[in-house]
A = this chain, B = another copy of it.
Amino acid sequence: MVQATSLPRNEPGIKAAIGVLKQTFGDRLQTGQAIREQHGHTTTWIETQAPDAVVFPTSTEEVAAIVKTCAEYGVPVIPFGTGTSLEGHVNAPAGGISVDMARMDKILAVHAEDLDVVVQPGVTREQLNTFLRDQGLFFPIDPGANASLGGMAATRASGTNAVRYGTMKDNVLALEVVMADGEVIRTAQRAKKSSAGYDMTRLMVGSEGTLGLITEITLRLQGIPEAIRSARCAFRSVDDACRAVMMTIQYGIPVARIEMLDAMSVKAANTYSKLDLPEVPLLLLEFHGSEAGVVEQAEMFSSIAEEFGGFDFEATSTAEERNKLWQARHDMYWACLGLRPGAKGISTDVCVPISRLAECVSTAREKAEEMGLMAPMVGHVGDGNFHALLLIDMDSAEERAKADEYVGWLNDLAISMDGTCTGEHGIGQGKRPYLTKELGAATRYMAAVKAALDPDNILNPGKIISD
């Protein structure tokens, strides 16, 4: 594990706050080691920093009471969704109280006519979509993991559908938030658009629990499309595939998904998901629209792909085949781990202007080979976003150091291409140095906003803002 910086602990405050909260929450406050470690544990390579207690509120009022108690005693509060974040977001470098939203899992209101829904933060995206299916509606953002919607809002999640439907920033209409002093605010009403003052909704989305705890979320929904068509196309090189993507976006084809798998990822998928895809760079696509529309979109894409030497183009509208394809994409993390049994997968995340994508991916591939790193790459390429999954023996200090060097190098490369050190994973603990490299002076004003809204730095300290 990579060691995360620890922050000073307020030992007497933590003890006092736990005592007070125990009285209110009884068994819903847990201090056992396993549960604490599970709540510091993330799927990252950053070492676990367990909180001192985990509390399970069931209402906004309870969250507000927790925050008020923690504010009184100067104790850190770390909101917890499903723990699938990747940059140490839920760690407790100064100890404190993890607020697990799992029991705030109610879908509070569906407004089908307005295409929106109001949910508690512990509702997961799969839970929501299962609930909505009968009404012909769906929530499009899909980061892969069955994350909680509160966590997705807090980390500005996106994923495969973002090229068409945007990220969480585009799909959260309003939030209810418990602020650092325990006050409950609503950031917006339910209207589809607003120019009513500062955009507190967007300020909270992506703030990773450092500015407030999200207790209610109003989300935009979409009608389930009349028709869905999936396609795949093979390419001779990553470069050709990226050029086809660029042209597809420029032509305004409203692809719902356009994912790239490099040859190594395809190989992993074939083995893990028992497929027989050609082991070359591949694009997987999905088209949403009318029956005629999706066929037209797929045909337009196919012509573009041909120009760039695409081959083995296949399209299907049957649900079974579609699901098989996308299940393979979703299982990619596990599939890639299979390439090197016993290794840990370190997923890193950059996003560049699409014109630089081919160069960025190719250079990243060459660098990995040069450094002797096994690093399959997959990307939400319609947005210029891709991940390298470094397969590392965590017992080897040399490999850990190499991986660290590679991640730093790749972030620097993306930044030098006018891109970002994180398209969707967020900053957490792991990407703080790169944030400063990327945005320089702007981070000073982020720190000023943090200090204004959380003057005692009790909300998820040690994340986003560099100490």
Residues of A within 8 A of B (CB): 111-116, 155-158, 162, 166-167, 169-170, 179, 183-200, 202-203, 205-207, 211, 222-223, 225-226, 246, 249-252, 254, 290, 292-293, 296, 351-355, 383-385, 414-415, 418-427, 431, 435, 438-446, 448-453, 464
Contacts and interface: CB of A to CB of B under 8 A. Distances in A.
Nearest to A207: B198
B424 A195 contact: yes
A2 to B, nearest CB: 20
Contacts of A191: 351-353, 383-385, 414, 418-420, 423
B189 A419 contact: yes
Given A186-B439, A439-B186, A196 B354 contact: no
A135 to B, nearest CB: 11
A203 B420 CA distance: 18
Nearest to A351: B191
B355 A427 contact: no
Contact of A442 (B155, B186, B195): B186
Contact of A200 (B156, B225, B442, B450): B442
Given A114-B355, A186-B440, A197-B442, 5 more contacts: A113-B354, A185-B439, A190-B353, A193-B351, A197-B443
Q: So how many copies of this chain end up in the complex?
A: 2
B420 A199 contact: no
A427 B112 CA distance: 30
B111 A355 contact: yes
Contact of A423 (B169, B193, B202, B422): B193
B192 A354 contact: yes
B199 A203 contact: yes
A425 B197 CA distance: 11
A186 B442 CA distance: 6
Contact of A195 (B155, B194, B292): B155
Nearest to A163: B192
A337 to B, nearest CB: 24
Contact of A111 (B162, B170, B353, B441): B353
B418 A190 contact: yes
Given A193-B162, A423-B193, A198 B452 contact: no
A32 B169 CA distance: 45
Given A251-B223, A292-B292, A196 B422 contact: yes
Contacts of A427: 195-197
A192 B452 CA distance: 29
Nearest to A425: B195
A172 B357 CA distance: 21
A189 B423 CA distance: 11
B296 A439 contact: no
Question: Which of A157, A191, A441, A442 lies at the interface centre, i.e. has the most chain B CB atoms within 10 A of its CB?
Answer: A191
